[in-house]
Amino acid sequence: MLHYLWMLIVGLIVGVVAKHLMGLQLGFWMTAGLGIVGSYVGGMIGNIFSKPADGQMFHPAGIIMSIAGACIVLWGYTHLIK
């Protein structure tokens, strides 16, 4: 249960930084969701450069890769969907 709370807190922090870097206004849940999805995208990018530990599906992304992944998701959202 605490894992989900921690994921929400880190996702919110990553989402806030990414939305300010991209200059967008998002609500609380969209910002947290952006950070969580950005962490997964950052983990997939990290998976390209180094293999994850045995038994893990994704590479754990750090804060920098999570923010980069969230910026990529925001760019895709604003340019491809809107």
Q: pTM of the full predicted structure? A: 0.81
Residue pair 60/43 in contact by the 8 Å Cβ criterion = yes
Q: What is the per-residue DSSP string for the chain?
A: -HHHHHHHHHHHHHHHHHHHHHT----HHHHHHHHHHHHHHHHHHHHHHSPPPTT-SSPPP-HHHHHHHHHHHHHHIIIII-
Compute the average pLDDT of residues 48-72.
78
pLDDT digits (tens, 9 = 90+) for 63-80: 888 899 999 999 998 888
pLDDT class for 17, splitting at 50, 70, 90?
Answer: very high
* Statement: residue 45 has pLDDT above 90: no
- Does residue 16 carry a pLDDT above 90? yes
